[in-house]
Amino acid sequence: MPLRKPTGKRRSTDSGVDPDRGALSQEKKDERIALFLSDFDQQAKENIQEMKKELHSLLQTAEKAFTVELLKMPVAIRKMRRKDLL
């Protein structure tokens, strides 16, 4: 005898949303929008700060790698102008 699939949950007609939600006053809507925008701005500022830190770290890494490569070269080439080297 084949196994029967369990019947799915029966959905209620109540969506869980407050029925008075659509009746918010314009003042409340404006307040919620202002709060959302201020939170968005704060998150954007935090993301920018994090990106600046990452950029600074990458620049330091590149500078260190450049310095190491320069130290590997002979002194005569190190002191040479880039224009002359190229």
- Percent of residues, the chain, with pLDDT higher than 90: 48
Mean pLDDT of 60-72: 92
Measured CA to CA, the distance from residue 38 to residue 45 in angstroms comes to: 11
pLDDT tier, 61 (very low <50, low <70, confident <90, very high otherwise): very high
Give 14-34 pLDDT, tens digit per residue: 666 555 656 679 999 999 999
Q: Nearest 5°: CA angle at 60, between 70 and 45?
A: 160
Structure confidence at residue 1 (pLDDT): 56
Measured CA to CA, the distance from residue 80 to residue 77 in angstroms comes to: 5
Specify whether the CB–CB gap between 73 and 65 falls below 8 A: no
